[in-house]
Amino acid sequence: MKINGKTKTCGLIGKPVEHTMSPTIHNTLAKKLGIDLVYVPFLVEQNLTAAVKGAYALNVLGMNVTVPYKSDVLKEICEVDSLAGQIGAVNTLVRVNGGYKGYNTDMTGLYRAMTGYGIKIEEEEVIILGAGGAARAVAYLCVHYGAKKVYILNRSVDKALSIAEEIRETTGKNCIEAMALQDYTKLSEEKKLCIQATSVGLSPNEEEAVIEEEAFYQKIHTGYDLIYRPTNTKFMQLVKAQGGQAYHGLKMLLYQGIEAFELWNQVQVSEALCDEVYEVMKGEMGIEE
């Protein structure tokens, strides 16, 4: 592409950023839509305040935010979308007068990916494995989109309790319950949606799952793992072994990027183009499905 004084700049701030797939998503979209935009990763070792102010001073159109800054960046922006405010984490900054407005397209991207697979949250009983930042955001998402019941299962039940109490206070809804991992036996036999929101299953622990007992997976009709590499985690294998459907998180990564691109450029990306970008991502990662 030709870069000149009219080229818009977007990027990613975080630590680390070396292995991000975001440039593939955004630069492919810009090329296919004929938008004069370039997307680059920015390693921010420290001083997030200077990074955000510097980006605004340099006329950067928008940025994605990755670990470890998704919560800290809230202090550096002038506006925040209501869902991102509830979740307490931002992954997309959109330039507005005087600074940036923050959004959480991680969760809307997850919702879009799941609905694309025919998975619904509304009126579902949902199990969330884990009680870290990702699990907290997923719990907010499930409550926001009308889950009938949300169970947060975690090794440390105190962390799960903290999330459940916070969501009850913030949303006024009482559909969320915290449980220790081993207490899954107390769940009803009605089959549920399960979202795997821990790092268990990532390299070098590909052969591990948070829960490995067959009895747990007999309660699951659909499993969604936020991990996208490997593309067939032990969690997914266990879901499928008990007759359930299972999906990895690469489309969540795709759609969080798509939604950020749409916010920055005020465009709608077609599903056909989403599919094209997804194929490019799989090609770069050497994934075959």
Residues known to be catalytic: 70
Q: How far apart are CA 217 and CA 230, in angstroms?
A: 20
SS3 199: coil
Q: For 127, which DSSP code?
A: E
Q: How far apart are CA 80 and CA 86, in angstroms?
A: 10
Q: For 35, what's the count of Cα atoms within 13 Å in the CB-facing half-sphere?
A: 22
| Maximal CA-CA distance, the chain | 62
- 19 CB burial (10 A radius; 0-12, 13-18, 19+): exposed
Check: CB of residue 184 under 8 Å from CB of residue 219.
yes
Q: For 164, which DSSP code?
A: H
Q: Of 255, 282, 271, 278, which is closest to residue 92 (Cα–Cα)?
A: 255
Which structure tokens are listed for 95?
């330039």
The alpha carbon of 104 is separated from its chain's Cα centroid by a whole number of angstroms, namely: 8
Q: How far apart are CA 61 and CA 73, in angstroms?
A: 16
Q: How far apart are CA 123 and CA 125, in angstroms?
A: 7
Residues 6+ apart with CB under 8 A from 182: none
